[in-house]
């Protein structure tokens, strides 16, 4: 098969070279006639032979030197055409020099030879260039028309054999392209080469483009016409092709598209587009990130690299969603040693295998199965490894489970953070960054209350030492995390529904896991000690809207194909989460998406007393006693009855 394809390729290349050579010969003949008539006093036969001979050879050399014959003619773009122009400019220089030399020798006059040579080179190269361009454009046009005719013929008379019998070929999907710019133009060009799609119309808010055409495809209106045009033109698929649009505006447009069309695709952001890339290969289905319209967080890669590079780094909870992404990103900054720690072996096993496959011996990696509540094990780990940076992601996080098991929440979250922070101080680690949550603000559940006390813990230890700098990073829900609402909804949709939402008005803040981790790393570079870093995560999302959009992304209709039912708020759950305490203000950082909360914690003698009472209550395994101890330790904790 490969040999057959290679033979076809060689044949096509030889035919193209033959065509270009014929163009050179014909242009040589035309040039000879014109040169004799205009200026040059040289024998016509000699003139033609020298022009044709030199032109064929030198044109082939110049075109071959810029790899023109490696391009697929029907896919020629502006980049290939630019190379073609450069080849003919080179040809003009080479032919001018060659003809000047030949005719100087022939005439015995260098001055006459130069004038004649440059005139002939100019005429021959110009005529040949026009002939080569016309040939390629004609081939592209005929190929496009032939392809369309062949496909229509196949659609009408052919099909495919299936288990149920002969099936006629499917009609191409009628496509609307959002965006009539350069990207939209390239999308239209690629769509016309695809059997599966038929570009029908474009939409763009630029009034100057409306009413005009791109490759015979009309621009029928602005983006406000999406529902109307989808219905009018019987659109089967929409392609979003405005890579420069801001996230918030893009979110609105894509949400509108998803509501009126089952198949919506997008192209990547402008920074991800490769100039010569095939647009159809970059096309992807709309996902939940697009519908949420989250703006990508930018951070200082150099400062993060300097922060991590050459350091001994410990990640607790490394097998979880955040811990896994922390492991990936930190490994890319070449730490001196990376220590992954988790009590759950399955998750951390996958991370260990992934990093070893990616970095091999380049990464000094150690994977530890242990609990952060084991003080002796933690002491040994710090003593033997000289740990410098700690990213503390280990915690019990599921709200309903922690409501039922408050003792375990305290034992793991509170005690583990205390042991980790005290051990870091003992061995003079440089920095400890703790992962917190928006549920720590005015907590109504056990998980949030324990996290609030963990923030107090790192603040307490930060006041006790100047050797170690402690901080916390507070953010909301992450898309795709273990047990996240996205996973739950997708499983319910796959099972045929219904999708369960706790309350029609419940809202949450969301971010992607890589965004959350980039914030954690940047926070580490900013930390001077005692801060709680907060991310500007944009507008909150109504969970019922999230459920509706996920159903639409599955190609189904909410409340028709998949029902949504409201189950009521779960224990400890509230309608909306807050990122700041009422008594906290915020300070800006160098990153416009990251802020620092002005903490109201008081470092007094009561902290250790509260900690001891919490631990004693948890170890008694008395649920009510543990709740009362949490209320005392976290005054803002107001559990719902």
Half-sphere CA count of 449, side-chain side, radius 13 A: 29
Cα separation, 51 vs 91, whole angstroms: 13
Report d(CA 595, CA 533) in Å as an integer: 6
Cα separation, 539 vs 341, in Å, equals 34
User: If residue 462 lies in a helix (H) or strand (E), which one and from where to where?
Assistant: helix 446-464
Question: H helices then E strands: how many in the chain?
Answer: 22, 24
Per-residue burial over 37-46, b = 16 or more CB atoms within 10 Å of its CB, e = otherwise: eeebebeeee
Q: Which helix (H) or strand (E) holds 427?
A: none
Q: How many CB atoms lie within 10 A of CB 623?
A: 16
User: Is 617 in contact with 626 (CB distance < 8 Å)?
Assistant: yes
601 sits in the region (left: phi over 0; alpha: psi -120 to 50; else beta) called beta
The DSSP 8-state label assigned to residue 412 in this structure reads I
The span from the CA of 505 to the CA of 355, in Å, is 42
Alpha helix (H) residue ranges in 288-341: 288-292, 301-308, 321-331
Closest by Cα among 298, 516, 520 to 391? 520
Q: What is the C-alpha end-to-end distance of the chain, expressed in Å?
A: 73
Beta-strand relationship, 237-240 and 263-266: parallel
| Choice among 250, 251, 397, 439 that is catalytic | 439
Query: What does each C-alpha distance from 143 to 148, 193, 303 come to in angstroms?
Result: 9, 9, 53
In 248-388 the beta strands, taken as DSSP E runs, fall at 263-266, 284-285, 312-316, 337-342, 365-369
How do 586-588 and 531-535 pair as beta strands? unpaired
Pairing status of strand 594-597 against strand 586-588: antiparallel
Tell me which residue has tokens 């969603």.
321
**Cα(169)–Cα(160) distance, rounded to whole angstroms?**
7
Residue for token digits 């163009």? Answer: 23
User: Does the active-site annotation cover 612?
Assistant: no
Residue 120 CA to residue 34 CA, distance in Å, equals 9
Separation between Cα atoms, residue 124 and residue 58, nearest integer Å: 12
Give the SS3 label for residue 169: coil
Active-site annotation, residues? 439
């Amino acid at each position: 098969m490969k040999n057959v394809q290679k033979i076809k390729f060689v044949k096509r290349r030889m035919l193209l070279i033959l065509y270009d050579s014929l163009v050179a010969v014909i242009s040589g003949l035309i040039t000879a006639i014109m040169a004799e008539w205009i200026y040059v006093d040289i024998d016509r036969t000699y003139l033609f032979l020298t022009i044709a001979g030199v032109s064929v050879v030198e044109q082939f050399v110049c075109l071959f030197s810029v790899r023109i014959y490696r391009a697929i003619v029907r896919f020629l773009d502006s980049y290939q055409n630019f190379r073609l122009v450069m080849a003919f400019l080179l040809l003009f220089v080479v032919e001018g020099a060659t003809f000047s030399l030949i005719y100087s020798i022939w005439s015995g006059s260098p001055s006459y030879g130069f004038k004649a040579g440059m005139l002939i080179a100019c005429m021959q190269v110009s005529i040949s260039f026009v002939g080569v361009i016309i040939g390629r454009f004609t081939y592209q046009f005929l190929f496009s028309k032939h392809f369309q005719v062949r496909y229509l013929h196949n659609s009408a008379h052919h099909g495919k054999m299936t288990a149920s019998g002969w099936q006629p070929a499917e009609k191409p999907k009628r496509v609307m392209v959002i965006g009539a710019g350069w990207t939209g133009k390239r999308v239209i060009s690629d769509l016309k080469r695809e059997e599966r799609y038929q570009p029908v119309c474009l939409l763009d808010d630029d009034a100057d483009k409306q009413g005009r055409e791109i490759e015979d495809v009309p621009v029928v209106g602005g983006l406000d016409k999406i529902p109307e045009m989808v219905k009018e033109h019987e659109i089967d698929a929409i392609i979003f092709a405005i890579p420069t649009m801001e996230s918030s505006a893009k979110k609105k447009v894509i949400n509108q598209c998803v509501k009126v069309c089952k198949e919506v695709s997008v192209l990547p952001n402008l920074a991800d587009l490769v100039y010569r890339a095939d647009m159809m290969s970059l096309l992807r289905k709309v996902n939940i990130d697009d519908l949420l319209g989250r703006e990508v967080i930018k951070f200082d890669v150099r400062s993060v690299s300097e922060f991590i590079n050459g350091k001994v780094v410990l990640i607790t909870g490394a097998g979880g969603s955040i811990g896994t992404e922390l492991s990936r990103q930190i490994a890319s900054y070449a730490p001196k040693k990376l220590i992954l720690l988790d009590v759950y072996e399955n998750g951390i096993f996958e991370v260990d295998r992934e990093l070893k496959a990616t970095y091999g011996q380049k990464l000094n990696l150690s994977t530890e199965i242990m609990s952060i509540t084991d003080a002796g094990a933690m002491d040994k780990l710090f003593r033997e490894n000289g740990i410098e940076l700690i990213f503390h992601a280990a915690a019990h996080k599921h709200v309903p489970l922690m409501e039922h098991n408050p003792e375990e929440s305290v034992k793991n979250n509170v005690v583990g953070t205390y042991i980790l922070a005290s051990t870091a101080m003992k061995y003079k680690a440089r920095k400890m960054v703790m992962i917190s949550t928006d549920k720590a603000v005015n907590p109504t559940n056990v998980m949030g209350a324990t996290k609030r006390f963990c923030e107090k813990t790192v603040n307490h230890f930060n006041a006790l030492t100047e050797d170690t700098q402690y901080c916390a990073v507070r953010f909301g829900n992450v898309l795709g995390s273990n047990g996240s609402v996205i996973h739950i909804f997708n499983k319910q949709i796959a099972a045929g529904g219904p999708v369960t939402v706790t309350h029609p008005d419940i809202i949450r803040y969301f971010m992607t896991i890589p965004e959350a981790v980039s914030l954690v790393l940047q926070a580490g570079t900013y930390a001077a000690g005692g801060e709680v870093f907060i991310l500007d995560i944009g507008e909150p999302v109504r969970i019922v809207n999230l459920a509706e959009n996920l159903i639409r992304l599955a190609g189904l209709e909410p409340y028709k194909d998949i029902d949504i039912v409201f189950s009521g708020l779960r224990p400890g759950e509230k309608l909306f989460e807050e990122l700041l305490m009422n008594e906290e203000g915020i300070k800006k950082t160098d990153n416009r998406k990251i802020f620092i909360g002005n903490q109201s914690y008081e470092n007094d003698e009561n902290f250790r007393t509260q900690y001891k009472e919490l631990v004693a209550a948890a170890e008694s395994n008395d649920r009510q006693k543990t709740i009362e101890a949490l209320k005392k330790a976290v005054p803002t904790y107001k559990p719902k009855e």
